Amino acid sequence: MNAEERRPPVAAEALLRKVLPDDAVGRSVVGDLGEEYRRRAQLHARSAHRWYWREALAIAFHSTRDRIAKRAASTTAVSDPVGKGDGMLRRIWSDLRVGARTLWRTPGFTLVAAITLALGIGANTAIFSLVDGILLRPLPYDEANRLVGVWNTAPGVDVEQVSQSPALHFTYEDEGTVFEELGLWNRGTVAITGLDEALQEDAIWVTDGTFRVLRVQPVIGRRFSREDDTPDTPRTAILSYKYWLSRFAGDPEVLGRTLIADGIARQIIGIMPADFRLLGNDPAIYLPMRWDRSEIFVGQFSFRSLGRLKQDVTLEQATAEMTRLLPIAVEKFPGGMKLEHVEEARLAPLLTPLKTDVIGNVGDVLWVLLGTAAMVLLIACANVTNLSLVRAEGRDREVAVRTAMGAARTRIASQFITETAVLGVVGCVLGLGLAYGGLQVLLAMAPTNLPRLDEISISPMVLLFTVGVTVLACLAVSLLSLFRYGQFNLVSALKEGGRGASGSRQRNRARNALVVAQVALAIVLLIGSGLMVRSFRALMAVEPGFRDPESVLTLRVSIPSAEVEDLSEMAQTHEMIARRIDELPGVTSVGLSTSITMDGAAGFDPIFVEQFPLSEGQLPPVRTFKWIGEGYFATMGNPVLAGRPITRADLYERARVVVITENLALEYWNSPAEAIGKRIGTGIEEGDWRTIVGVVGNVRDNGMSQDAATVVYWPMITPHPWQELVGDSVFASRDMAYAIRSDRTGTAGFLDEIRQAIWSVNSNLPLANVRTLEDILDRSTARTSFTLVMLGVATAVALLLGVVGVYGVISYVVTQRTREIGVRIALGAQTGTVMKMVLRHGLILAGTGVTAGLLAALGLTRLMSSLLYGVNPVDAITYVSVAAGTTMIVLLASYLPARKAAAVDPLEALRAE
Amino acid sequence: MKRRQGTIGEFEQLVLLAILRLKEEAYGPNISEELERKAGRRVSRGALYSSLDRLQQKGLLQWQIEATSSDRGGHPRRRFEVTRTGIAALREYRKALTRLWAGLEEVLG
């Protein structure tokens, strides 16, 4: 290696920079050391390395010492001219030293107590940093409290919350007075061509107001203007920072260059900041929506919308004004819903704080987890208190002697508090370490759809919380010690001496109460975990509408009109690709659909049923729509219950047929078979009838924990149901999902072969969203399994601490009563009787704790009912098994001390006195 | 225990002497090398820089920051100089020593 290239050890150099002042002097020292290092490294690299470390540590030591000395000199000189506070400070210092020394002398106690506290504090810190990062911190936008999500509600047709219609959006933007700015946006993908490889990238379409609402400026270039967002103007695009770095290597010259997205050239006008997310989304590219206002009507409720309220405008005021504007929208943008439809649906605007839109329902999970962590801390505190009570007992003599020698009671009390504080500091530092490590694990295993993950850190707020929690824990622990020494009886303590008489009933009562509390808390956590296990099992038992998801690979291919203009030809291209993939070795079957189960890509439209005409003014129900090719049901593993699936012939003949799910069939008819041959339709009005040729099993399209969706499957190319509205005679989706069933899924090279198969048909087609059906399924159960694991870990810790607590107390009592037990045995008590006596003590503790825990659980588990699936919060099986299990464990923990008691040798016991 | 202002310890004295000997070349690495070579003792860089700072606070030495070329990774360099007070302190120390040495040649050789 060349001498010039030798670098001193990075960590040691970082340490130097940290301890030295960041000025010319500090840097000159770093330079000196580096220079010497290089000289030494030429002779012997390894010893130079060691040398550098040694000297860096020496410098760190000296400079820290000098700095502390300097600060001490200046503070004593200024703040304490008369030396009055000196006594107080010196006393605290001496307390600290004595405290540390006492703890050092009993390493066993110190270690156990510090680790116990650290577990409690660490768990709270880790969970709180999630709560802080996700729930508490304001969104990373300017004046985020004025941002709202704009939705609609339509209780008349049982719709709680539905997205925005462009017609309503533009009405509010033009006529409204309550918003500073409004934005409309939606997500999708675009094919980027013209760069080295064709790729399908995530994109977000926005109106020009969207970035103004969030008050965000591109780092270079400009935002979309009103002109960019108008049809018939030059096309523009803004890149995300990530995409700019990865595809253009951060080249600032990229502004003004042309990008081909979906076959259309667009000029790049800006780059968004690195940390900018549009409500958690970080697409590759932003495109203007460019609405043509003549084509808008009150409908198309499928766009997200956000707004910034003007200063001092409340949600209620804004909603009231927007409600008044609804009829104007119907008038302004005709062709969609009419006024009577709006009234019948009771359509109304719905504003939500934007934060709710971002974080969704994850708050439930986090608060439950924080509550769990708090319980673990309580248990930890109870344990530490118990330990220090036991230890304090041994020190009664010491305290008595000190009191007799004239030590003030407050002085003794402050000594105990200081000791606990030292313990607390150790626990706090260890806990922070645990939290930091735990957080890394947590973030790695947290569900990917947990929002704002990149904003989570151990922030000053979290540190403050940790310190607060530590102080509380210390207070709780020292309160009992204080209480004890406040009413300390000098004479009796001296008299009792070392004799472990069983007289200190009061103390035993305190200890028993603590153990009961521990058992009760552990019961609550166990029941919480038990309910989650039952929910998870119930979820797993749900029939999702597919089989063996691990062997189904899914991906999306989109054919832009620039590649294949004609729709029939385009659909044939999809089919051809599917056939090529089907020919690959190991592939069982391939199915095409606009949406795979649970991928969230399905469409929604109204249906009419010929046999059941709607009455005057009645709105048709809205159902899930998917457009599929041949072999889709077979690939997914969804059985055909009656009739037949969609065939290739249906596609070629543009047959007017559909397949529906079982639950939709049963909504209108008595059995799946009865639905065959009946006709349904969609569109603005009834009349375009399609025959039901098959009924398939139910699918959980909205997630495993949701009711099965009612789905209508259409042939992927079919006579257009909205022909008069759109003008095209056939309908076919350019963007199709491929489901590929093969035992080679997940093996090396398989994806490459699929890619080659696609490109053998058309080499300009990018593929996107490659994942297995299992990935999609996991995503749907992620929240439940995440909660389950977190609760499980917390419960394991709680149970462990609880068992240790019970064991500790019982065995302590046994030791204390050794003499009494010895006398009993000497007087003829059987070993069985002695064991029974000790076990009875354990049983009483267990019984009381279990009862209290069950009662608490009855109240507390209700709070987590939104996380449960298919199980009642008051689930008898869980309650009974947890109660029985815990009683068994507590008895087991008492069994060991009981055996010890039975083995007491009366002679030994009496002689020991 | 506090030292009287202006008096110097043994190590500090050695450092000042090394700086005087090095003249225009009194940079950190050279000082430690000079001490190790001439005084025959290993010098911890921590103790050295701490002493240099202390001597500067006492007014016994001063330094100049010099920019360097890229061979030190752009880190500046400190060149040290003994001040007039520093020289006076050394003289004072030597005088005291000489007085104490006087008449002890027989014992110490």
Contact assessment for residue A606 and residue A345, using Cβ atoms and an 8 Å cutoff: no
Residue B2 placed within a domain? no
Q: How many CA atoms lie within 13 A of A470 on its CB side?
A: 23
Nearest C-alpha of chain A: how many angstroms from B106?
Answer: 41
Predicted local distance difference test score (pLDDT) of residue A219: 92
Rounded distance between C-alpha atoms, residue A32 and residue A59, angstroms: 12
The residue-averaged pLDDT of A237-266 equals 90
Q: How many CB atoms lie within 10 A of CB A22?
A: 9
CB of A21 less than 8 A from some CB of B: no
The reply to whether residue B45 touches residue A24, judged by beta carbons under 8 angstroms, is no
A130 versus A577: the higher-pLDDT residue is A577
Dihedral sign from CA coordinates of A242, A245, A250, A252: negative
Q: How many CB atoms lie within 10 A of CB A421?
A: 22
User: Angle, to 10 degrees, between the axis of helix A505-541 and the axis of helix A876-902?
Assistant: 140
Query: Which of A74-78, A87-91, A263-267, A557-561 is most confident?
Result: A263-267
Residue B108 placed within a domain? no
CB pairs under 8 A between A and B: 66
CB of B45 less than 8 A from some CB of A: yes
CB of B77 less than 8 A from some CB of A: yes
CB of A496 less than 8 A from some CB of B: no
Check whether A661 has a pLDDT greater than 80.
yes
CB of A62 less than 8 A from some CB of B: yes
The reply to whether residue B29 touches residue A39, judged by beta carbons under 8 angstroms, is yes
Phi, psi of A691 (to 5 degrees): -90, 135
CB of B29 less than 8 A from some CB of A: yes
A323 versus A778: the higher-pLDDT residue is A323
Predicted local distance difference test score (pLDDT) of residue A896: 84
Q: What is the C-alpha radius of gyration for chain A, rounded to an integer number of angstroms?
A: 36
Predicted local distance difference test score (pLDDT) of residue A321: 93
Nearest C-alpha of chain B: how many angstroms from A43?
Answer: 16
The stretches of A765-868 forming alpha helices (DSSP H) are 773-816, 818-826, 831-860
Nearest C-alpha of chain B: how many angstroms from A112?
Answer: 38
Helix (H, G, I), strand (E, B) or coil at B66: strand
In chain A, what percentage of residues exceed pLDDT 70?
91
Report the residue from A24, A39, A66 with minimal CB separation from B53. Answer: A66
Rounded distance between C-alpha atoms, residue A250 and residue A255, angstroms: 11
Rounded distance between C-alpha atoms, residue B54 and residue B22, angstroms: 20
Helix (H, G, I), strand (E, B) or coil at A302: coil
Write a three-state SS string for A124-146: HHHHHHHHHHHHHCCCCCCCHHH
Domain encompassing residue B57: 10-100
Which residues of chain A lie closer than 8 angstroms to B70, CB-CB? none
Report the residue from B44, B68, B78 with minimal CB separation from A25. Answer: B78
Which amino acid, one-letter code, is at A362?
Answer: V
- CA A871-A876-A880 angle, 5° bins: 130
Q: How many CB atoms lie within 10 A of CB A138?
A: 11
Contact assessment for residue A863 and residue A787, using Cβ atoms and an 8 Å cutoff: no
Residue B105 placed within a domain? no
The residue-averaged pLDDT of A510-523 equals 84
Report the residue from B47, B73, B78 with minimal CB separation from A62. Answer: B47
- Candidates A264, A301, A248; CA nearest to A190 is A264
Rounded distance between C-alpha atoms, residue A162 and residue A350, angstroms: 9
E strands along A716-829, which residues? 717-719, 730-732, 735-742, 767-772
Which residues of chain A lie closer than 8 angstroms to B44, CB-CB? 55, 58, 62
Structure-token pair, residue A370: 């924080």
Query: Which of A367-371, A569-573, A596-600 is most confident?
Result: A569-573
Nearest CA in chain A to B46: A59
The residue-averaged pLDDT of A462-472 equals 90
Report the residue from A29, A57, A62 with minimal CB separation from B28. Answer: A29
Report the residue from A4, A31, A39 with minimal CB separation from B75. Answer: A31
The reply to whether residue B68 touches residue A34, judged by beta carbons under 8 angstroms, is no
Q: Which of A2, A25, A47 to mutate to test the interface with B (most CBs of B within 10 A)?
A: A25
Nearest CA in chain B to A66: B50
Predicted local distance difference test score (pLDDT) of residue A499: 44
The reply to whether residue A27 touches residue B76, judged by beta carbons under 8 angstroms, is yes
Per residue in A394-410, pLDDT (tens digit) is 666 677 777 777 666 67
Rounded distance between C-alpha atoms, residue A281 and residue A286, angstroms: 11
Per residue in A120-154, pLDDT (tens digit) is 899 899 889 988 888 888 888 999 999 999 999 98
Nearest CA in chain B to A67: B50
The reply to whether residue B28 touches residue A27, judged by beta carbons under 8 angstroms, is no
Report the residue from B47, B63, B73 with minimal CB separation from A58. Answer: B47
Spatial neighbors of A23 by CB under 8 A, at least 6 apart, are: none
Q: Which of A6, A20, A27, A68 to mutate to test the interface with B (most CBs of B within 10 A)?
A: A27
Which residues of chain B lie closer than 8 angstroms to A36, CB-CB? 29, 32
The residue-averaged pLDDT of B12-41 equals 88
The reply to whether residue A28 touches residue B73, judged by beta carbons under 8 angstroms, is no
Which residues of chain B lie closer than 8 angstroms to A65, CB-CB? 50
CB of B73 less than 8 A from some CB of A: yes
Predicted local distance difference test score (pLDDT) of residue B18: 92
Write a three-state SS string for A506-569: HHHHHHHHHHHHHHHHHHHHHHHHHHHHHHHHHHHHCCCCCCCHHHEEEEEEECCCCCCCCHHH
Q: Which of A35, A50, A52 to mutate to test the interface with B (most CBs of B within 10 A)?
A: A35
The reply to whether residue B75 touches residue A62, judged by beta carbons under 8 angstroms, is no
Q: ipTM of the predicted structure?
A: 0.88
Per residue in A587-611, pLDDT (tens digit) is 999 999 999 998 888 888 888 999 9
The residue-averaged pLDDT of A239-251 equals 91
Nearest C-alpha of chain B: how many angstroms from A68?
Answer: 13
CB of B49 less than 8 A from some CB of A: yes
Which amino acid, one-letter code, is at A8?
Answer: P
Predicted local distance difference test score (pLDDT) of residue A506: 64
Average pLDDT, chain B: 84
A800 versus A739: the higher-pLDDT residue is A739
Nearest C-alpha of chain B: how many angstroms from A78?
Answer: 19
pLDDT bucket at A517, cuts 50 / 70 / 90: confident
Rounded distance between C-alpha atoms, residue A786 and residue A539, angstroms: 14
Parse chain A into domains and list their residue ranges: 3-79, 146-359, 362-541+780-911, 564-763
Residue B48 placed within a domain? yes
Q: Rounded to whole angstroms, what are the CA distances from A124 to A129, A317, A385?
A: 8, 40, 19
Nearest C-alpha of chain B: how many angstroms from A25?
Answer: 7
Average pLDDT, chain A: 85
Which residues of chain A lie closer than 8 angstroms to B52, CB-CB? none
Q: How many domains does chain B have?
A: 1
CB of A33 less than 8 A from some CB of B: yes
Predicted local distance difference test score (pLDDT) of residue A84: 43
- Write down the pTM of the prediction: 0.66
The reply to whether residue B75 touches residue A28, judged by beta carbons under 8 angstroms, is yes
CB of B75 less than 8 A from some CB of A: yes
Which residues of chain B lie closer than 8 angstroms to A47, CB-CB? none
Predicted local distance difference test score (pLDDT) of residue A179: 95
Minimum mean pLDDT range among A78-92, A323-337, A555-569: A78-92
- Candidates A291, A304, A113; CA nearest to A204 is A304
- Candidates B71, B90, B91, B84; CA nearest to B29 is B71
Rounded distance between C-alpha atoms, residue A730 and residue A613, angstroms: 26
Structure-token pair, residue B18: 């090394």
Rounded distance between C-alpha atoms, residue A277 and residue A204, angstroms: 11
Residue B4 placed within a domain? no
A646 versus B94: the higher-pLDDT residue is A646
Per residue in A749-776, pLDDT (tens digit) is 898 899 899 989 988 887 888 889 988 8
Residue B85 placed within a domain? yes
pLDDT bucket at A586, cuts 50 / 70 / 90: very high
The residue-averaged pLDDT of A361-373 equals 84
Contact assessment for residue A557 and residue A571, using Cβ atoms and an 8 Å cutoff: no
Which residues of chain B lie closer than 8 angstroms to A5, CB-CB? none
Which residues of chain A lie closer than 8 angstroms to B49, CB-CB? 29, 59, 62-63
Check whether A262 has a pLDDT greater than 60.
yes
Residue B3 placed within a domain? no
pLDDT bucket at A492, cuts 50 / 70 / 90: low
Report the residue from B29, B53, B71 with minimal CB separation from A36. Answer: B29
CB of B95 less than 8 A from some CB of A: no
Q: How many CB atoms lie within 10 A of CB A537?
A: 12
Predicted local distance difference test score (pLDDT) of residue B1: 37
Spatial neighbors of A888 by CB under 8 A, at least 6 apart, are: none
Q: Residue B53 maps to which CATH number?
A: 1.10.10.10
Nearest CA in chain A to B31: A32
CB of A15 less than 8 A from some CB of B: no
- Candidates A777, A774, A738; CA nearest to A632 is A738
The reply to whether residue B29 touches residue A35, judged by beta carbons under 8 angstroms, is yes
The reply to whether residue B49 touches residue A63, judged by beta carbons under 8 angstroms, is yes
Q: Rounded to whole angstroms, what are the CA distances from A144 to A152, A213, A578, B99?
A: 21, 10, 47, 79
